[in-house]
Amino acid sequence: MDEFELIERYFRGAGAPRDDVLLGIGDDGAVLALPGRQVVVVDTLIGGRHFPDDAPAASVGHRALAVNLSDIAAMGAVPTHALLALTLPRAEPAWLDEFAAGLGALARRHGVALVGGDTTCGPLAITLTLLGRLPDGVELRRSGAQIGDAVFVSGTPGDAAYGLRIAGGLTPHGLDPSCAAELRRRFEYPEPRVLLGPALIGLATSCIDVSDGLGGDLAKVAAASGVAIEIDAARLPLSAALRAAVPVEEAQRLALEGGDDYELAFTVPRAVAAQLPQRVAALAPVTEIGRVVAGSGVALRQNGRVRPFTHRGFMHFSAGGGR
């Protein structure tokens, strides 16, 4: 199978059909008919670094798109078109079948067309570029948090960090197998908050997607907004599966420091906060976890004490980083 057969077989039909794709896969470039303002994002996944080398191929395909859907959602945009740059050690039909199925299913579910890409031979790496449309012409940013705002997070952060350990071979002692499977699924098949992001336009003052750890990602919002954020540890939404797996302090630590959640963290004016969970209930569960205050950085309120939260989340090129 050469490169051209591979593209035809696995990728031509993988995404959603869209009327605004005037020319898709097969030429030197794609031609799109796009109105208004677009958001564009790109993320790379490296085998052995962002996922275990032996991860199910469907999970790798799903995650390659999911991490980008999450960034698009954090900007308040609706995902539309993707470009896939794929580097593979070998063209293995079974792996490619599953990879394209995992990516394609998520793409079609969210109306994303795969309009082009690049295919090369080398160590496993996947770079996906995703476009999204801003329905109202304004985006969410990290920089708008105001003193007095309430801080929210969607879903149950921390699950994926523990799920990664399970995927890596950890057998949690005495944990119900259905909980272990659920946590593993949260790492392997994250569901980015595609519908919640655009719904937060006009409500949220700032937004970020939680990929490197909730505490560290909120520190980025605080820095961009010139404010401080205080988090109540006791209000962190912890899943039943995670609470069954580890003691509550460890679950809180995973929620704050673990990565790969692909949830949204955002701030809203106090006046909006009380009704917000109900208002977006059909789109995603959201929980108020803290507040925006004067100062800088993130502080954690735990057991009646307030202390600075200094864990900075995952970073490439830092000592101890390089995952």
Query: How far apart are CB 8 and ligand ADP at their closest, in Å?
Result: 9
Calpha distance 48→40 (Å, rounded)? 26
Select 83 or 251, whichever has its Cβ closest to Mg ion.
83
- Which part of the chain contacts Mg ion (CB under 5 A), choosing from 2-10, 25-33, 152-160, 230-238? 25-33
11 binds, among Mg ion, ligand ADP, none (CB under 5 to 8 A by kind): ligand ADP
Select 12 or 270, whichever has its Cβ closest to ligand ADP.
12
Calpha distance 285→278 (Å, rounded)? 9
- Which part of the chain contacts Mg ion (CB under 5 A), choosing from 26-34, 235-243, 267-275, 280-288? 26-34
Query: How far apart are CB 28 and Mg ion at their closest, in Å?
Result: 4
> String of b and e for 129-166 (b: at least 16 CB within 10 Å)?
bbbbbbeeeebbbbebbeeebbbbbbbbbbbbbbbbbb
Select 126 or 251, whichever has its Cβ closest to ligand ADP.
126
Calpha distance 199→74 (Å, rounded)? 11
- Which part of the chain contacts Mg ion (CB under 5 A), choosing from 27-35, 44-52, 69-77, 100-108? 27-35
Select 19 or 28, whichever has its Cβ closest to Mg ion.
28
Query: How far apart are CB 29 and Mg ion at their closest, in Å?
Result: 8
DSSP string for 195-248:
THHHHTTTT-SEEEEESS-HHHHHHHHHHHHT-EEEEEGGGS---HHHHHHS-H
285, with CB counted inside 10 A (0-12, 13-18, 19+), is middle
Select 91 or 273, whichever has its Cβ closest to ligand ADP.
91
Q: The tokens of 27 are what?
A: 């030429």
Query: How far apart are CB 119 and Mg ion at their closest, in Å?
Result: 12
The closest alpha carbon to 70, from 276, 259, 298, 279, belongs to 259
Q: Which of 19, 28, 94, 278 binds Mg ion (CB under 5 A)?
A: 28
The closest alpha carbon to 72, from 43, 30, 35, belongs to 43
Select 26 or 168, whichever has its Cβ closest to ligand ADP.
26
H/E run at residue 293: strand 286-293
Residues that bind ligand ADP (CB under 6 A): 3, 7, 11, 25-28, 84, 86, 114, 116-119
Residue nearest to Mg ion (CB): 28
Query: How far apart are CB 99 and ligand ADP at their closest, in Å?
Result: 10
| Strand 228-232, strand 286-293: pairing | antiparallel
Opening angle at CA 17, ends 12 and 20, nearest 5: 115
Select 119 or 302, whichever has its Cβ closest to ligand ADP.
119
Query: How far apart are CB 262 and ligand ADP at their closest, in Å?
Result: 22
Query: How far apart are CB 6 and ligand ADP at their closest, in Å?
Result: 8
Under the rule (CB under 5 A), what is the footprint of Mg ion? 28
